[in-house]
Amino acid sequence: MELISVIVPCYNEQESLPLFYREITAVTDGMKEKYYNENISDLAFEFIFINDGSKDDTLKILRELSDTDKRVRYVSFSRNFGKEAAMLAGLEKSRGDYCVILDADLQHPPKLIPQMYDYVRSGEYDCAATRRISRKGESKALSFFARSFYKIINSISQTHIVDGAQDFRFMTRQMVNAILDMPEKNRFSKGIFSWVGFDTKYIEVENTERAAGKTTWNFKKLFLYSLEGIFAFSTAPLWISLIMGIVFCLLAVAMVVKTLICGEPMEGYPVIVALVCLIGGIQLFCMGVTGQYISKMYTEIKGRPSYIIKETEETKRPVRKNNPKGLK
Ligand code: UDP
Ligand code: MG
């Protein structure tokens, strides 16, 4: 028997969850039957939902699902810790021979799972993932920003991050264990998936719209997330600040030499102001860059957990409907 863990991060997904559950179970039931009838494999599934501090009825739906379907397990966080923490919690809780991570909003079509399983089962690949080939439905500015991000990070980082690669991934236990062996707290999964290596098959897909609810990502969040990726997987910004420092030192020396040799002092108040502003700005920029790495070290050293679990399907607390003592 082969167990496949389906991991689903959820944040305010009360509208999508019932649709998602219907679709994923249809796909997995079909897969189980097909592979069993064709004598290929005997499959079992577990569904691990991570409630990432949702403010709507997501947790209530998960409780109900786990009551009616024993394959449904869930982890509910004490607050919103972000999708990265949710994916980590799902992988840590999983027991499967294979793990597949996908979004709850059906933007990652569950019908691709059988194809992903085929690629990985063939032994040729350790992982199958989707890669977005079109950026339909996305603003021009965002597309431009995303493309530039991939160009920059791939030119300065040794870890290659595939343009458009999504978090929708089907992985072997061996690869999952390698990911779990990375103890870092500043997690940038796109980089982590690539850094651990292994052979990945990219399935090219068109962009799919959300089934229901709305995205929590905006330009500011994406910008900060991309900086997170650059600082987590490259030290090139430190080199850039070092080189800028050297160039400006050389420039200063050249100016002094020019004044001494040619006897022509540089004159004028605006020149001095411009130079002070330029050098001051560059110093602040370099300090900012160094500060980013120090702040990452600071969060790593503090060693705080990536997430805090409030409830799971095993520790479910009964919710009392009436309030016997009339407590407020
Ligand atoms: N998500 C999460 N925590 C968050 C934000 C999002 O677990 O803080 C989940 C969300 O429920 C969904 C997936 O991550 O299943 C992708 O989020 P979303 O659809 O908002 O992002 P997008 O598809 O627009 O990149
Ligand atoms: Mg989405």
Enumerate the H helices of the chain as residue ranges.
16-37, 58-68, 83-93, 113-121, 140-156, 173-180, 189-195, 219-233, 236-262, 269-302
Q: Which bound ligand lies closest to the C-alpha atom of 137?
A: 1
Q: Token match 């004028």: residue?
A: 268
From the CB of 150, is ligand 1 less than 6 Å away? no
Instruction: Work out the angle at residue 6's Cα, subtended by the Cα atoms of residues 93 and 164, and round it to the nearest 5 degrees.
Output: 110
What ligand has the least distance to the C-alpha of 14?
A: 1
Contact status, residue 233 vs residue 153, Cβ threshold 8 Å: yes
Phi, psi of 101 (to 5 degrees): -105, 130
Which of the ligands is closest to the CA of residue 20?
A: 1
Q: Which two tokens stand for residue 59?
A: 């947790």
State residue 140's pLDDT score: 78
Which phi and psi (to 5°) does residue 98 adopt?
-135, 150
Going residue by residue through the chain, which has 328 residues, state the pLDDT in tens, using 9 for 90 and above. 899 999 999 999 999 999 999 999 999 999 999 888 888 888 999 999 999 999 999 999 999 999 999 999 999 999 999 999 999 999 999 999 999 999 999 889 999 999 999 999 998 999 999 998 877 767 777 788 888 888 888 888 878 888 888 899 999 999 999 999 998 888 888 889 999 999 999 999 887 777 777 777 777 888 888 888 888 888 888 888 888 888 887 887 787 777 778 776 666 777 787 778 778 878 888 888 888 888 888 888 888 899 999 999 888 776 666 665 666 5
Does ligand 1 come within 6 angstroms of the Cβ of 167? no
Identity of residue 283 = Q
Please tell me if the CB atom of residue 52 comes closer than 6 angstroms to any atom of ligand 1.
yes
CA distance 306 to 100: 21
Whose tokens are 């098959």? That residue is 201
Q: What's the burial of 60, exposed, middle or buried (CB within 10 Å: 0-12/13-18/19+)?
A: middle
Q: What is the pLDDT of residue 193?
A: 92
With a 6 Å cutoff on the Cβ, whether 53 touches ligand 1 is: no
13 Cβ below 6 A of ligand 1: yes
Distance 9 CA to ligand 2 centre (A): 10
Quote the pLDDT of residue 200: 93
103 lines ligand 1 (CB under 6 A): yes
Q: How far is the CA of 103 from the centre of ligand 2 (A)?
A: 6
- 165-172/127-132 β-pairing: antiparallel
Q: Say how many Å lie between the CA of residue 41 and the centre of ligand 2.
A: 32
29 CA to centre of ligand 2 in angstroms: 24
Contact 188, 228 (CB under 8 A): yes
The dihedrals phi and psi of 297, each to the nearest 5 degrees, come to: -60, -40
Q: What is the per-residue pLDDT for 318?
A: 66
